[in-house]
A and B are shown apart, each in its own frame.
Chain A
Amino acid sequence: MKQSSVDAVIRGLKRAGVSIVCYLPDSLFKELYPALDADPDIRTIQVTNEGEGAAICGGVFLSGKRAALVMENSGLRASVEPLARMGLGAGIPVFMLLSYRGDMGENNWWAVPHGITMEPVLQALRIPYAVEREEDRIEQAIVDAYELAYSSYYHTAVALSGSIVR
C-alpha cells in the first residue's frame, strides 16, 4: 500500500470514531498495521485468529467505543460463526476492513479461494459491503459502512483491492 492509501484508511477510521482496531496481519495491508500501531489515537490489539478479533470488536461495541476488524479476506471465513451469532442472534455489529485477495490481478494460486469465497460468504451472511479499487474512495467508504453498521446494528465491510493494495 502507498502511504497515501494508508493515510486515507486512518482518516476514514478516525472520522468513523474508531479508537480500537483488532487485526491479524496480512501481506496486502503490510504497511497499514505499523501505521495503526503508531497512531496515538488508536489502540491496536493483535489477535490469534479473526474470529477472536470479531468477538473482541463485539465487546468493544458493548462498551460504547468503536472498533474495526482489519484482516485479509480469508479471515472472513474464520469469523463466520461469531459474526453469525453476534449479528443475527443479538444485533451486535462489527465493521470489517478486508484486503481483497483473489481479485482480478491476483498472482498467487493460494489466494484464489479467497476471491472465490469472499463475496458469496458476505452475501450468505447478508452483510452489506463495498469493494473499493481507487484510493480517493477509501475514506468515505469506511465512514459510510460504519454509519450503516450503526443504523442497522449489523455488520458491514469494505474490501480494498486493485491499485490500492498492489
Chain B
Amino acid sequence: MKRFDCMTKLAARLSDELVILSLGASVDEWYNAAPHMRQASLFQQQLGCVTPQAFGLAAGLPDRQIVSLDTDGGLLFNLGILATLGNEQPKNLFVVVWDNEQYQSIGGPKTHTASGRVDLAGIARASGVDHAYTATTLEEFDAHCEAGLKSDTPYVVVAKVSGTVQPEIKRKHSDGREDKYIFVRHVEKTEGITIMGPSEHN
C-alpha cells in the first residue's frame, strides 16, 4: 500500500477540517495529494509533537474536526500521547499513523515497528483509545477514514505503507514560519477569530 494513494483517498473526504502533519517526504506528498487543504495543513518538524499538537488544536476548537497525520517514528517518540488521548477522549480528533517501518527522511533506517513485534494500534487500544486499527489495504484505509472522521471518540488508524515516495511531486518552498502564518490566517478566517492580531500602538 502506497502512502500517496492513501493520502488521495483521505484528501477526497476532507473540506473544512484542519490537519497537522509530520515531517519528511510525506509533507510534499500531502500538499500534492490534497492541494485544496494547503492552507488548512501545518507540518511540524519534531518527532513526538504531531499528535500532541493536533490534540491541542482539537481541545481549543472542539467544534472543528482535526486530523493528525503522524508516523511510526513520531508516535514511538512519545507513546504517552496515546494515554493522554485515552484519558481525555477528544471527540474531534482522527489520527492517521503512516507506518513505513523506517525513518524515511534520513534514508530509511528501521524503526521499532520493522521487527513485526510492535503493534502501534494495539498500544493505542491498551492506552484507552478503543477505536484503533491497522490498515493494510487501500479499501480498509478508506473505510477507516470514513469512520474516523465521523467518530465522536478518538480514532487511530495505523496505515502500513511501503517506503516508497511518490515520484515527481512538487516540493513546497515555505519554511515553518511562513507555514504557521498561512495556517493561522486560515484558522482566523474560517473560525471568525483573531489569533495573531494588531499591536496596540501605545
A residues at B contact (CB < 8 Å): 20, 22, 43, 45-49, 51-53, 55-65, 67, 81-82, 85-86, 89-92, 151, 153
Contact = CB atoms under 8 A, between A and B. Distances in A.
9 contacts: A46-B84, A47-B52, A48-B83, A55-B56, A57-B56, A62-B60, A82-B48, A89-B176, A91-B177
A150 to B, nearest CB: 8
Given A47-B80, A59-B53, A64-B188, A52 B60 contact: no
A81 B46 contact: yes
A59 B59 contact: yes
A90 B52 contact: no
A59 B90 CA distance: 14
A70 to B, nearest CB: 15
The bracket for how many chain B residues form the interface is 35 or more
A60 B184 CA distance: 11
Question: Which of B60, B83, B187: most chain A Cβ within 10 A?
Answer: B60
A106 B179 CA distance: 44
Dominant secondary structure of chain B at its interface with chain A? helix
A86 B180 CA distance: 10
B162 interface: no
A22 B84 CA distance: 11
A45 B84 contact: yes
Nearest to B194: A64
A71 to B, nearest CB: 14
A49 B78 contact: yes
Contact of A85 (B45, B183, B184, B194): B45
B139 interface: no
B48 A62 contact: no
Contacts of B183: 62
A83 to B, nearest CB: 10
B191 A64 contact: yes
B80 A61 contact: no
Interface string B19-63: 010000000000000000000001011101100111111111100
A99 to B, nearest CB: 21
Nearest to A65: B60
B177 A55 contact: no
A63 B61 CA distance: 6
Given A59-B20, A59-B54, A51 B176 contact: no
